[in-house]
């Protein structure tokens, strides 16, 4: 059995970013992934690299998000150079559109809290509909106004995933798809990770299996009380470019199609598209952008977000099994830069610093794990 | 917003027309939904009003559709033409659009009869204007009474010879018939011949078609390699190699065909389980002898359940309707079985030809999976075979990860024109059985629907009762 | 170039890229255009390659044209109508302002 420096369980947005970072550090790394049909939150991302609204009541999260956002351009350039894959990343500015005064007031209050929590590092402005029009053309009469932040942007999340995988392989990483992990045993030192058809040995193991972490974390003495929250996305036909900024619920891709969200349904492990969510998403989109009423939806998507009750990611290292880490959450795209650099480095060096202590497993009541 | 029917039939080809008329005859409140302006599906397209000056061009089999259409018109079926189905929900609601408005139709039982489409035939230049399918040539003939004189027909399978025969009867000159049927097929097919002879007069008809083509002196070319469509901005010639020499035939029209496969999109998006049929070289739904799918309340009839031809499709439709009537308590099991017995027998007999035809006309491997890297596999997104192979080298386990990495399958056709190719290409590159590769995860809308139409299906928050 | 084998009869007038076309009623826009000698009806958004009708049964989505101002309509699925304005598509369409 080959003994790796690190085994990453999960080839999604978080797993592949960490695996890429570890390989970049020169660690012999294997990434174990499920087969073609799997929940894979990483195939259902919207693609926002988003700072506004994150961590208004959790300063550590606001700070972590901002750090990642600032590291993004360097990651993008590095991936382009290493793999030739263009991720379509742009820090184009972000808008959240409000369709009622209530939404507007709630958002304004939240963003103000975020500004205060970051000592003014987070900058934004609230606009009425007329003024918001400078960023977003063709707003409908039902739009009350919205927020704008220059710190936000977007990326093609699938291209990002491909780039991370390609970058990982280019750095000598070993990718094992079709290897759904069922058991991890602590060999003291090191770990044996058993997947479909093969077992690998590694000095470190990083559990980045998304919703699968709930079952796997206890093997290394940790808890990961994550639960699925379904989100649905509609995708339009390709259109000539009309929207430069990214909005929270609608953004235009480099290819021209628009991705439209959002929905949040606790529906267990059911990732099917629902008529109700599709209709609600469409309704909101047409209210915000009446000119899109005649635009066709050519496909829809649904995926299960990896949620925690407090909305924060989980980064934990096991006291009982040194070298075992858990990493999961719902903002894998925005945090990809931090994951590929900072988090991967800390894992390689063996310790998570105080900066991410707020995301540790200690914050969970043991009962959450059941 | 919703209407409740006993049975909703989707698709007005032979299976759908037969299912709807039968269901109505059994006293079920029936709706038949079809996206075209008139019934007939593909094989009986425009049966009520083909504009050809001489309809005999289309052949006697075509006329069989007239009776089905007449039965439909004479029945009490609620027939919704020019209506597109974009989803079937787990609650048996059908999302439809017509004239810019979307709504949901509910039914206790649904029969999906969306038929088949042509297996893609990816070759260099196949996306050039002027390259079309043999089915497209038939559509032009049936609905526009138009022929393309001097066209080249290429591929294999009975439908190709059918359209060539129709062109001959229409007096349209044919530049060439390039028959890509592998020569070795005859050896695989020969053992299946005796069984095939029991299947009525299919063989006789087939032989008659071949004889007519020979007698008309059509230039038939066999044993070719490197078939390609040539031109810039429009097809201007068809190229091929034969006996080590390269040749071209000048033409502005190339009609391709290498068999048909089930149109699986609606059934897959509705959650019906499918499996790879290694003989038919296509995905087909898992159905029982009555057409019941793996989803309760959804049956699949006709070529959409597996290629069987028009006569089998009609029988499928009748059987599905009988079964639905029984399931809904309208007739007893004994009555259903009694009525169904002759239909089952006829169906078994008509299906006897299939193994022979499937073996005889099995398309060549390299016509199904392009060898050359620069051949476009996904027409919607311009993804080539080489792009796919490069992504597979990253370790893509299947078509869904491949789709994520290359956009292959993300276009509006939702894999209808690339799916079978991708499945087989992945199997070939990874060295695994096709059945293990899987297919795209399909979701609604299976046909595009506008944002405005979708928004219109949201329950109104300010109307009483949400109506 | 497609030729007709139709019994002569009434026609309807449509416009294609501004030019008038007299076509037989009851057929699809794609069929009418092909019979009128039109080969390519759009250029793809990504590569700018010319495309025209391919399957004629509404499954390939290659015959996309602008009909009466609405883009990305499948020409093979729409029946011609007197006064209809059809335009070829070059790349991805603009949405109305």
Q: What is the ipTM of this complex?
A: 0.97
Higher-scoring residue by pLDDT: A200, B207 = A200
C70 interfaces chain A, CB cutoff of 8 Å: yes
CATH entry, C12-89, from 3.10.20.440, 3.20.20.20, 3.30.300.130, 3.40.50.300: 3.10.20.440
Which of B319, B338, B330, B333 is closest to B19 using CA atoms? B319
Which of A138, A238, A295 lies closest to C97 in CB terms?
Answer: A138
Residues 123-182 on B with a CB inside 8 Å of C are 127-133, 135-136, 139-141, 143-149, 170, 172
> What pLDDT sits at residue C96?
62
pLDDT tens column, A201-243: 999 999 999 999 999 999 999 999 999 999 999 999 999 999 9
Residues near B54 by Cβ (< 8 Å), separated by ≥ 6? Answer: B169, B170, C5
> What pLDDT sits at residue A367?
60
User: C25: buried, middle or exposed (CB in 10 Å: 19+, 13-18, 0-12)?
Assistant: middle
| Encoded tokens for B309 | 């031809």
Q: Give B-chain residues touching A235 at CB under 8 angstroms.
A: 410
> What pLDDT sits at residue A2?
82
Confidence band, pLDDT 50/70/90 cuts, at residue B197 = confident
Torsion sign, CA atoms B206, B211, B213, B218: positive
Q: Give C-chain residues touching A239 at CB under 8 angstroms.
A: 92-95
> What pLDDT sits at residue B465?
34
pLDDT tens column, B277-310: 999 999 999 999 999 999 999 999 999 999 999 9
Distance from CA of C6 to the nearest CA of B (A): 5
pLDDT tens column, A243-300: 999 999 999 999 999 999 989 999 999 999 999 999 999 999 999 999 999 999 999 9
A30 interfaces chain B, CB cutoff of 8 Å: no
In Å, what is the CA distance from B63 to each residue of A262, A289, B45, B68? 51, 50, 11, 10
pLDDT tens column, B90-147: 889 999 999 989 999 999 999 999 999 999 999 999 999 999 999 999 999 988 999 9
> What pLDDT sits at residue A279?
95
Check CB contact under 8 Å for B271 and A295.
no
CB atoms within 10 A of CB B193: 14
All structural domains of chain C with their residue ranges: 12-89
- What is the pTM for the complete model shown? 0.94
Residues near B301 by Cβ (< 8 Å), separated by ≥ 6? Answer: B15, B16, B18, B19, B111, B112, B113, B291, B313, B316, B317, B319, B320
- Best of C10, C43, C52 to substitute, by most chain B Cβ atoms within 10 angstroms, is C52
Distance from CA of C35 to the nearest CA of A (A): 28
> What pLDDT sits at residue B57?
83
Q: Per mean pLDDT, which range of B58-62, C71-75, C82-86 is the poorest?
A: B58-62
CB atoms within 10 A of CB B191: 11
pLDDT tens column, A12-47: 999 999 999 999 999 999 999 999 988 889 888 999
pLDDT tens column, B179-192: 999 989 988 888 88
> What pLDDT sits at residue B187?
87
**Nearest residue in C to A254, CA atom:** C46
Which of A344, A368, A365, A320 is closest to A6 using CA atoms? A344
- Angle between the N-to-C axes of helices A157-170 and A59-83, in degrees from 0 to 180, rounded to the nearest 10: 60
pLDDT for residue B2 is more than 60: no
* Contact status, residue B21 vs residue B122, Cβ threshold 8 Å: no
User: Mean pLDDT over all residues of chain B?
Assistant: 93
In chain C, the percentage of residues whose pLDDT exceeds 90 is 87
* Contact status, residue A205 vs residue A324, Cβ threshold 8 Å: yes
> What pLDDT sits at residue B460?
58
pLDDT for residue B466 is more than 80: no
Residues near A64 by Cβ (< 8 Å), separated by ≥ 6? Answer: A55, A335, A338, A355, A356, A359
Q: Per mean pLDDT, which range of A321-330, A357-366, B19-28, B454-463 is the poorest?
A: B454-463
- Best of C28, C60, C64 to substitute, by most chain B Cβ atoms within 10 angstroms, is C60
Distance from CA of B327 to the nearest CA of C (A): 33
Mean pLDDT, rounded, for B153-178: 94
**Nearest residue in B to A296, CA atom:** B450
Check CB contact under 8 Å for B139 and C76.
yes
Strand order in the sheet with C70-74: C19-23, C12-16, C85-87, C64-67, C70-74
User: Mean pLDDT over all residues of chain C?
Assistant: 94
Chain B partners (3+ C-beta pairs within 8 A): A, C
| Encoded tokens for B257 | 């065909």
Can you give the three-state secondary structure of chain A, one letter per residue? CCEEEEEEECCCHHHHHHHHHHHHCCCCEEEECCCCCCCCHHHCCCCEECCCCCCCCCHHHHHHHHHHHHHHHHHHHHHHHHHCCCCCCECCCEEEEECCHHHHHHHHHHHHHHHHHCCCCCCCEEEEHHHHCCCCCCCCCCCCEEEEECCCEECCHHHHHHHHHHHHHHCCCEEECCCCEEEEEECCCCEEEEECCEEEEEEEEEECCHHHHHHHHHHHCCCCCCEEEEEEEEEECCCCCCCCCEECCEEECCCCCEEECCCCECECECCCCCHHHHHHHHHHHHHHCHHHCCCEEEEEEEEEEEECCCCCCEEEECCCCCCEEEEECCCCCCCHHHHHHHHHHHHHHCCCCHHHHHHCHHHCCHHHHC
Compute the distance between CA of residue A29 and CA of residue B394 in angstroms, rounded to an integer. Answer: 15
3-class state of residue C15 by DSSP: strand
pLDDT tens column, B47-82: 998 788 788 888 888 888 999 999 999 999 999 999
In chain B, the percentage of residues whose pLDDT exceeds 70 is 97
pLDDT tens column, A129-158: 999 999 999 999 999 999 999 999 999 999
Residues 66-95 on C with a CB inside 8 Å of B are 72, 76-77, 79
> What pLDDT sits at residue B3?
54
| Encoded tokens for B286 | 């898992």
pLDDT tens column, B238-250: 999 999 999 999 9
Q: DSSP state, B70?
A: H
Mean pLDDT, rounded, for C80-84: 97
Distance from CA of A286 to the nearest CA of C (A): 13
Exposure b/e, B241-267, CB count within 10 A at least 16 = b = eeeeeeeebebbbbbbbbbbbbbbbbb
C32 interfaces chain B, CB cutoff of 8 Å: yes
Which of A216, A235, A341 is closest to A296 using CA atoms? A235
Biggest distance spanned by C-alpha atoms of chain B: 76
pLDDT for residue A127 is more than 50: yes
Can you give the three-state secondary structure of B132-167, one letter per residue? EEHHHHHHHHHHHCEECCCEEEEEECHHHHHHHHHH
CB atoms within 10 A of CB B237: 17
Compute the distance between CA of residue A249 and CA of residue A262 in angstroms, rounded to an integer. Answer: 6
Residues 197-256 on A with a CB inside 8 Å of C are 237-240, 242, 255-256
> What pLDDT sits at residue B464?
38
Check CB contact under 8 Å for A275 and B445.
no
Mean pLDDT, rounded, for A100-115: 97
In chain A, the percentage of residues whose pLDDT exceeds 90 is 92
Q: Give B-chain residues touching A100 at CB under 8 angstroms.
A: none
Which of A33, A280, A295 lies closest to B450 in CB terms?
Answer: A295
Compute the distance between CA of residue A176 and CA of residue A263 in angstroms, rounded to an integer. Answer: 33
Residues near B126 by Cβ (< 8 Å), separated by ≥ 6? Answer: B229, B256, B375, B376
Which of B170, B135, B216, B149 is closest to B53 using CA atoms? B170
Confidence band, pLDDT 50/70/90 cuts, at residue B467 = very low
CA angle at B179 for the pair B178 and B184, rounded to the nearest 5°: 145
For chain A, give the number of residues: 370
Compute the distance between CA of residue B371 and CA of residue B394 in angstroms, rounded to an integer. Answer: 20
CB atoms within 10 A of CB A107: 21
Q: Give A-chain residues touching C92 at CB under 8 angstroms.
A: 237-240, 256
pLDDT for residue A84 is more than 90: yes
Backbone angles phi, psi at A143, to 5 degrees: -85, 125
Q: DSSP state, B459?
A: P
């Amino acid at each position: 059995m080959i003994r790796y420096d690190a085994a990453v369980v999960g080839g999604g947005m978080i797993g592949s970013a960490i695996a890429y970072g570890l390989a970049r550090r020169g660690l012999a790394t294997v990434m174990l992934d499920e087969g073609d049909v799997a929940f894979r939150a990483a195939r259902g991302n919207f693609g926002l690299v988003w700072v506004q609204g994150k961590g208004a009541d959790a300063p550590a999260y606001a700070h972590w998000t901002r750090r990642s956002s600032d590291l993004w351009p360097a990651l993008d350039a590095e991936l382009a150079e290493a793999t030739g894959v263009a991720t379509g990343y742009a820090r184009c500015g972000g808008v959240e559109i409000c369709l009622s005064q209530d939404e507007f007031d709630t958002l304004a209050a939240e963003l103000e809290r975020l500004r205060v929590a970051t000592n003014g590092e987070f900058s934004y402005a609230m606009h009425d509909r007329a003024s918001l029009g400078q960023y977003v053309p063709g707003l409908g009469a039902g739009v009350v106004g919205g927020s704008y932040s220059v710190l936000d942007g977007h990326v093609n999340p699938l291209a990002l995933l491909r780039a991370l995988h390609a970058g990982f392989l280019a750095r000598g990483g070993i990718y094992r798809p079709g290897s759904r992990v069922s058991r991890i045993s602590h060999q003291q030192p090191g770990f044996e990770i058993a997947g479909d058809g093969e077992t690998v040995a590694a000095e470190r193991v990083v559990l980045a299996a998304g919703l699968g972490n709930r079952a796997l974390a206890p093997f290394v003495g940790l808890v990961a009380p994550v639960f699925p929250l379904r989100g649905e996305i509609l995708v339009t036909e390709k259109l000539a470019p009309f929207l430069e900024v990214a909005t929270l619920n609608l953004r235009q891709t480099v290819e021209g199609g628009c991705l439209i969200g959002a929905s949040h349904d606790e529906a267990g492990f059911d990732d099917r598209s629902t008529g109700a969510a599709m209709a609600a998403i469409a309704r909101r989109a047409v209210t915000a952008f009446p000119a899109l009423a005649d635009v066709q939806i050519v496909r829809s998507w649904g995926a299960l977000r990896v949620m925690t009750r407090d909305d924060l990611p989980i980064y934990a290292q096991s006291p009982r099994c040194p070298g075992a880490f858990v990493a999961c959450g719902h903002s894998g795209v925005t945090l990809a830069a931090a994951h590929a650099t900072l988090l991967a480095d800390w894992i390689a060096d063996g310790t998570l610093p105080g900066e991410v202590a707020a995301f540790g497993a200690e914050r969970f009541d043991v009962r959450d794990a059941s | 917003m919703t209407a409740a029917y006993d049975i909703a039939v989707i698709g007005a080809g032979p299976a759908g027309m037969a299912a709807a008329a039968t269901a109505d005859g059994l006293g079920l409140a029936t709706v038949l939904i079809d996206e075209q302006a008139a019934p007939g599906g593909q094989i009986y397209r425009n049966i009520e009003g083909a504009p050809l000056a001489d309809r005999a061009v289309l052949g006697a089999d075509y006329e069989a559709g007239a009776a089905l259409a007449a039965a439909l018109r004479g029945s009490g079926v609620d027939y919704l033409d020019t209506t597109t189905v974009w989803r079937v929900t787990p609650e048996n609601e059908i999302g439809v659009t017509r004239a810019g408005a979307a709504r949901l139709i509910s039914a206790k039982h649904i029969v999906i009869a969306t038929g088949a489409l042509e297996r893609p035939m990816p070759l260099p230049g196949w996306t050039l204007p002027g390259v079309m399918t043999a089915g497209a040539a038939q559509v032009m003939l049936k609905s526009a009474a138009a022929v393309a004189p001097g066209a080249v027909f290429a591929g294999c399978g009975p439908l190709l010879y059918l359209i060539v025969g129709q062109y001959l009867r229409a007096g349209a000159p044919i530049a060439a018939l390039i028959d890509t049927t592998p020569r070795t097929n005859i050896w695989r097919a020969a053992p299946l011949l005796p069984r095939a002879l029991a299947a009525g007069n299919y063989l006789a008809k087939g032989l008659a078609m071949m004889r007519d083509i020979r007698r008309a002196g059509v230039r038939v070319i066999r044993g070719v390699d490197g078939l390609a469509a040539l031109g810039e901005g429009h097809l201007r010639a068809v190229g091929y190699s034969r006996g080590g020499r390269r040749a071209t035939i000048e033409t502005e029209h190339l009609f391709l065909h290498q068999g048909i496969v089930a149109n699986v999109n609606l059934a897959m998006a509705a959650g019906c389980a499918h499996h790879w049929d290694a003989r038919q070289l296509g995905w087909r739904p898992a159905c029982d002898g009555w057409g019941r799918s793996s989803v309760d309340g959804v049956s699949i009839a006709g070529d959409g359940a597996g290629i069987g031809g028009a006569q089998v499709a009609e029988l499928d439709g009748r059987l599905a309707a009988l079964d639905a009537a029984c399931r809904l308590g309208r007739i007893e099991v004994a009555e259903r079985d009694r009525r169904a017995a002759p239909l089952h027998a006829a169906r078994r007999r008509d299906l006897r030809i299939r193994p022979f035809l499937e073996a005889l006309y099995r398309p060549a491997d390299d016509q199904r999976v392009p060898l050359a890297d620069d051949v476009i596999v996904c027409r919607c997104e311009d993804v080539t075979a080489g792009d796919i192979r490069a992504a597979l080298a990253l370790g893509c386990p299947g078509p869904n990860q491949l789709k994520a990495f290359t956009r292959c399958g993300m276009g509006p056709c939702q894999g209808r024109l690339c799916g079978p190719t991708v499945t087989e290409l992945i199997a070939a590159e990874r060295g695994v059985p096709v059945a293990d590769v899987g297919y795209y995860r399909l979701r609604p809308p299976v046909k595009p629907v506008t944002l405005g139409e979708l928004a219109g299906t949201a329950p109104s928050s300010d109307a009483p009762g949400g109506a | 170039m497609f030729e007709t084998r139709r019994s002569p009869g009434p026609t309807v007038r449509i416009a294609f890229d501004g030019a008038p076309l007299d076509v037989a009623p009851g057929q699809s826009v794609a069929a009418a255009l092909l019979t009128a000698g039109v080969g390519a009806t759009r250029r793809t958004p990504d590569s700018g390659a010319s495309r025209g009708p391919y399957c004629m049964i509404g499954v390939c989505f290659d015959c996309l044209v602008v009909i009466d101002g609405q883009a990305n309509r499948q020409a093979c699925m729409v029946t011609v109508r007197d006064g209809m304005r059809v335009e070829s598509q070059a790349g991805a369409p603009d949405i109305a302002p």
